[in-house]
Amino acid sequence: MTAEEWRQDVVNRMTGECMIPEHILQTPDKDRRAPSNGHQGGVANLQSHALLYSDIIRSFLSDGTRILDVGSGCGLGTRAYFIRTGVPVVAIDRADAHWLADQLYPCPGVIRVVADVQDELHDDVLFHAPYDVVTMTNVYEHISAADAEQACANIDQVTTDDGVVVITVPTWPEGDDPNPFHLRTFRSKDEALDEIQSRLSGNKRVVWARTGEGALPWGQAARDDALKQ
């Protein structure tokens, strides 16, 4: 299969929004949409995701950390989590996203579960629970308000009492989110953080994933003081 045939296969298979590294590198203008279903082009977008994943690894993961990656997408972060922790990582996403992850970042230490986070918990998710860290990077905005409570209840059920839920969402202080794949618009990071935190029990904490200098606006640090105590 040629590179162009592979790209066309991606376009035909993907049904939602997903960061696709190979596709991004073919569309270096960060303001130009890649020729597929809503996938943003731009090397800056790829850089921001790489910084996000590296900061999650540095800030929240260590050897033996059990992690659930919700909305795992292309699999770049998930594979990196496994390399860092050395234990199986459970990844939840749609079938087309898992197909893409298998093409780009195959990894024997990743257990891919085809599901939405608000669905009935899959046996594989339950078998590897409880998780020390749950990640939802640019995922919560894809969950409708009607489904968000059940999604948080599922996360709460499979997370350790002192576990950490690490999130990012795009924020739009003024106006609506123009992305047609997003089902929620958050005016601020605290709006999303507070909503999820209110639905967690025990000593669980929801925190914002930090990213490095030069990342996109939704990657700025917030609520890191809690991690330093």
123-179: per-residue pLDDT in tens? 999 999 999 999 999 999 999 999 999 999 999 999 999 999 999 998 999 888 888
What pLDDT is recorded for position 71? 96
91-108: per-residue pLDDT in tens? 999 999 999 999 889 999
The domain of 195 spans 62-211+221-228
Better pLDDT: 3 or 217: 3
58: tokens are 């540095």
| DSSP secondary structure letters along 32-77 | SB-SSSSPBP-HHHHHHHHHHHHHHHHHH--TT--EEEET-TTSHH
Residue 185 in any domain: the answer is yes
What pLDDT is recorded for position 178? 82
100-132: per-residue pLDDT in tens? 999 889 999 999 999 999 999 999 999 999 999
155: tokens are 């996360």
Residue 69 in any domain: the answer is yes
Query: Are residues 140 and 208 in contact, defined by beta-carbon separation less than 8 angstroms?
Result: no
> Is 191's pLDDT higher than 70?
yes
Residue 5 in any domain: the answer is no
State the SS3 of 108-170: CCEEEEECCCCCCCCHHHHHCCCEEEEEEECCHHHCCHHHHHHHHHHHHHHEEEEEEEEEECC
Q: Which residue has the tokens 């202080």?
A: 173
Residue 38 in any domain: the answer is no
pLDDT band of 46, cuts 50, 70, 90:
confident
What pLDDT is recorded for position 23? 66
CATH number for 80 = 3.40.50.150
Nearest residue to 77 via CA among 36, 164, 136, 117: 136
Residue 123 in any domain: the answer is yes
- The rounded distance, in Å, linking the Cα atoms of 227 and 207 is 9
For the stretch 31-40, contacts whose Cβ atoms lie closer than 8 Å and that sit 24 or more positions apart, written own/partner, are: 35/11, 36/7, 36/10, 36/11, 37/11, 38/179, 38/180, 38/181, 39/14
Q: Mutual orientation of helices 76-85 and 43-60 as an angle, nearest 10°?
A: 20
Query: Are residues 88 and 104 in contact, defined by beta-carbon separation less than 8 angstroms?
Result: no
Number of domains in the chain: 1
Residue 10 in any domain: the answer is no
50-79: per-residue pLDDT in tens? 888 999 999 999 999 999 999 999 999 999
Residue 9 in any domain: the answer is no
> Is 26's pLDDT higher than 70?
no
Question: What's the chain's average pLDDT?
Answer: 84
Residue 27 in any domain: the answer is no
